[in-house]
Structure 1
Amino acid sequence: MSDKVLDIIRSEKLEPPARVNAVLDKIEERHPDRVLAFVYYGSSLREIENPDKMLDFYVLIDSYRKAHKSILRAWLNLTIPPAVYYLELEQDGVVSTCKYSLMTLKEFEKRSGKDAFHSQIWGRFSQPCVLMRAQNESIAERVYKARTKAVKYMASQSAPLVAPSATAAEIWGRGFYESYRTELRPESSVGRSTEIVERFNERYETISRAIFGEVDSKGCFNISTDGAKSLSRKWFWRRVRGKPRSILRVAHGALTFDGGVDYVMRKLKNHSGVDYKPTPFQRKHPFLTAPIMGWKLWKMGAFR
């Protein structure tokens, strides 16, 4: 029997412009013979022709140890995935900036559904994204199926909260809102979740029909209320446990690439308006000073 959600995920394709392909080539050069596939996501996917938008990729690899030059970075990638790298590439006078995250395909599959308590992967990759440069059809299918699992699990973790009757926008908007609240994010959880659903409303309508069936006369889906209270408690504990995990990931990101501290501070300033100037010592020793920086940024309102 055909899986309608899987068919939708398979259909999400894109022919990337030359600058995107050039960045992918550079990433493959950095990690030779380790890259199994790329998953392109984020705001630049929605404005792909805008060179000012930073490119975001999850780079799915076969081995942490073989993908990193440093044993420490490989260990950090294993214990606090993903490892985040930064890349700039100039081509024909245009500078493309890129942030990419390394994760093994096996770990990506594991974190795409109910086996993962936190929504970092299944929340993010139930949103629009595109598979690129899969090594073969088998790997492509593994990524498609992992993303299908992510979509279905996000639906199951969202719908009961707005049951018994809700529109597609209400279902997915609530899910992304809850997911963003588990992280330390500089932008508004409400605004971000609303923007994502509104921009791709037709996609979420189609997916919702595949999962919940047809809408009623009011344009709403009929949803079971079973487990709504326990699901609310689960999201509460995701928030409690998710915030410290986010701090660790920020510290990990600052460690992973040159200029990482300044990149994180620029991103926070762009989204929250908080302008924190790290000291030379903090730039040189991001891991040691990350707890102090994180606390000061929290007090200044960089995270909502």
Structure 2
Amino acid sequence: MSGADQDALLDLIQSEQLDPPARVQAVMNAIRDRHPDRVLGFVYYGSSLRDLDDPEKMLDFYVLVDSYRATHGTGLSGGWRSLTNRLIPPAVYYLELNQENVLSTCKYSIITLREFERRCADSFLSQVWGRFAQPCALLGTSDATIEARIVQARANAVCKLASETAPLFEEPASAEEFWGRAFYESYRTELRPESDDGRAREIVARYRDRYDAVSQTLFGRSTDGRFNVQNYPGAGSSLRWFLRRLVGRPVAAIRILNSAATFDGGLDYVLRKVERHSGVSLEVTEAQRKHPVLWSPVLGWKLWRRGAFG
């Protein structure tokens, strides 16, 4: 990619920033209070991106921090949380905030900025670069330097997803075909219910102008709406996507089970989520419900044996 094209991609991602509504700002402030002096920025993503001020929608953030240890605190619990966050990022937290009898709910994921940058650029699993190649909103960054690093990381995620998807095509493709296939391949490495690329194509269609602009930046001008995606640098990705499916789903399950320790009823919440995505249910003991992180490998193994991960 030329310097001009790189600048164009950065400008496009920069344009996706927005000012958070008052309700969202209050939730962000509550997260900062929970982790004082650690938060460097928020990246908002998910199906409710267009409806940030709708209290019926759960807010979904990646919260970028400077240190796992300092973020999770001292003591045995903080040390264990810091370790699992480092080994299987991100750590997921849940927050509820009642403002003037309006309840806002939020699920947020903790990851260091350095780890976020690495996983947007060269991580084997697509969880981060597959997610943040999609439309996102950058909120509440601590300074211009941090903002620039996050925008660059997201640009790297777009390029990474493109390079891992282009080898799957032998002919020119429309933006909807290309990015729909890209996100579908990424979804298949996680605990998601999609059986084809229909849902992914819906997301692309919703932001058609954005994906047309990204495609033109990466692949050059289209001919009759089709881009020469097969000429984009990349090779041998079919095997890597297969391996990601084998590894990614169990890792996703362990990560979800680990998140159960962060709020009351958390294990029941994540098991309902697994059942909704896979159709597999699991009864747990009181000991497992009380110590979900400790039991997460055992629970993950049982879910795998029952076919929860495809």
TM-score (norm. length: structure 2): 0.89
State the one-letter code of the partner of 2:88. I
Map 1:242-281 onto structure 2 (within 5 A): 242-268=248-274, 271=277, 278-281=284-287
Partner of 1:118: 125
State the one-letter code of the partner of 1:93. N
Given that residues 187 and 303 in structure 1 are in contact (C-alpha distance below 8 angstroms), is that contact kept between their aligned partners in structure 2?
no
State the one-letter code of the partner of 2:13. I
2:156 is the alignment partner of 1:149: yes
1:30 aligned to which of 13, 27, 34: 34
Return the alpha-carbon distance in structure 1 between the equivalents of residues 21 and 195 of structure 2: 31
Return the alpha-carbon distance in structure 1 between the equivalents of residues 32 and 284 of structure 2: 32
Return the alpha-carbon distance in structure 2 between the equivalents of residues 294 and 189 of structure 1: 25
Report deviation, 1:275. Answer: 6.0
Given that residues 254 and 300 in structure 2 are in contact (C-alpha distance below 8 angstroms), is that contact kept between their aligned partners in structure 1?
no
Map 1:106-255 onto structure 2 (within 5 A): 106-113=114-121, 115-188=122-195, 190-217=197-224, 219-224=225-230, 230-255=236-261
SS at match of 2:236: helix
Return the alpha-carbon distance in structure 1 between the equivalents of residues 296 and 261 of structure 2: 10
Report deviation, 1:276. Answer: 5.2
Tell me, which stretches of 5 or more residues in structure 1 are unaligned? none
Tell me, which stretches of 5 or more residues in structure 2 are unaligned? none
2:91 is the alignment partner of 1:87: no
Return the alpha-carbon distance in structure 2 between the equivalents of residues 151 and 210 of structure 1: 11
Return the alpha-carbon distance in structure 2 between the equivalents of residues 266 and 161 of structure 1: 34
Report deviation, 1:274. Answer: 5.8
SS at match of 2:105: strand
2:80 is the alignment partner of 1:72: yes
SS at match of 1:81: coil
CA deviation map 1:119-163 (0-9, x unaligned): 111110000111111111000000000001111111111122123
Given that residues 187 and 272 in structure 1 are in contact (C-alpha distance below 8 angstroms), is that contact kept between their aligned partners in structure 2?
no
Partner of 1:59: 63
Q: How well do the aligned residues superpose, as a CA RMSD in angstroms?
A: 2.2
CA deviation map 1:28-65 (0-9, x unaligned): 00000000111111112133233221111011001111
Percent identity, aligned pairs only, is: 55
CA deviation map 1:72-92 (0-9, x unaligned): 111111111111100011112
SS at match of 1:195: helix
2:44 is the alignment partner of 1:40: yes
Structure 2 CA distance for partners of 1:78 and 1:289, relative to 1, 3 Å: closer
TM-score (norm. length: structure 1): 0.91
Larger displacement relative to structure 2 (219-228 or 62-71)? 219-228
SS at match of 2:142: coil
Structure 2 CA distance for partners of 1:238 and 1:66, relative to 1, 3 Å: same
Partner of 2:296: 290
Given that residues 88 and 96 in structure 1 are in contact (C-alpha distance below 8 angstroms), is that contact kept between their aligned partners in structure 2?
yes
Return the alpha-carbon distance in structure 1 between the equivalents of residues 146 and 71 of structure 2: 18
